[in-house]
Chain A
Amino acid sequence: GDSVTQTKGPVTLSEGTSLTVNCSYETKQYPTLFWYVQYPGEGPQLLFKVPKANEKGSNRGFEATYDKGTTSFHLQKASVQESDSAVYYCVLGDRAGNTGKLIFGLGTTLQVQP
């Protein structure tokens, strides 16, 4: 079945350093890929989505490229801030089925120290 595997956390960084959270996926479909972010006490919220292979999504300095060849969708940010501390989820969407059913990775907790 469909699955998502991402960097196991927690990841601890100092402010101003770069971030990479690895994500790989398995599916026989043609999915849309998402990154969601969850701040303490809140539900997951969409960071950005990429519906097509070989395209890049970005928001708030975060970016990821939908690489169909390597089935990867790694999240990157050049310079993290303390406010980026949160849990990041790589998510696979069932675009073909058009049901809104999402497959979540386990989540990667990012802690940014000042």
Chain B
Amino acid sequence: GPKVLQIPSHQIIDMGQMVTLNCDPVSNHLYFYWYKQILGQQMEFLVNFYNGKVMEKSKLFKDQFSVERPDGSYFTLKIQPTALEDSAVYFCASSLVVETLYFGSGTRLTVL
């Protein structure tokens, strides 16, 4: 089936630094999403993005977070500056229609 690619699978960063998580969505998809999963907790919606704009964001999507998809390439999540509580697995997803999401395998972010 369609594949969403997330590279790298693990990133380690010092608290206070900036990190950019990259996602290569399915090529003809129109909607893009980030979800966050802290170990042992539920996967939670962060943000969705359509037509170059954020459609909706949750309370977890702090001011330090931003998303973009410049020139139709990678869909990115930037965190600046990072905090210890940002350590989690971040899943990117894309969809052609809003109800059928395809998820990547996730990037584990460790903030030291």
Which residues on the A side are within 8 Å of B106 (C-beta)?
A: 43
Q: In the bound complex, do residue A32 and residue B99 qualify as a contact, i.e. CB atoms below 8 Å apart?
A: yes
Interface string of B16-47 (1 = CB under 8 A from A): 00000000000000010101000001111100
Please state if B33 and A100 are interface contacts (CB–CB under 8 Å).
yes
**Bound Cα distance A93, B48 (Å):** 14
Question: Cβ of A46 < 8 Å from any Cβ of B?
Answer: yes
CA A105 to CA B44, docked complex, whole Å: 10
**Interface residue ranges of B49-95 to A (CB < 8 Å):** 55-56, 58, 91, 93, 95
Binding site secondary structure of chain A: loop
In addition to A44-B91, A100-B95, A102-B101, 15 A-B residue pairs with Cβ atoms within 8 Å of each other are A43-B4, A43-B6, A43-B104, A43-B105, A45-B102, A46-B100, A46-B101, A93-B99, A97-B56, A98-B98, A100-B99, A100-B101, A101-B45, A101-B48, A104-B35
Could you tell me which A residues sit within 8 Å of B by CB distance?
A: 32, 41-46, 49, 51, 89, 93, 95, 97-107
Residues of B at the A interface (CB closer than 8 Å) are 1, 4, 6, 31, 33, 35, 41-45, 48, 55-56, 58, 91, 93, 95, 98-106
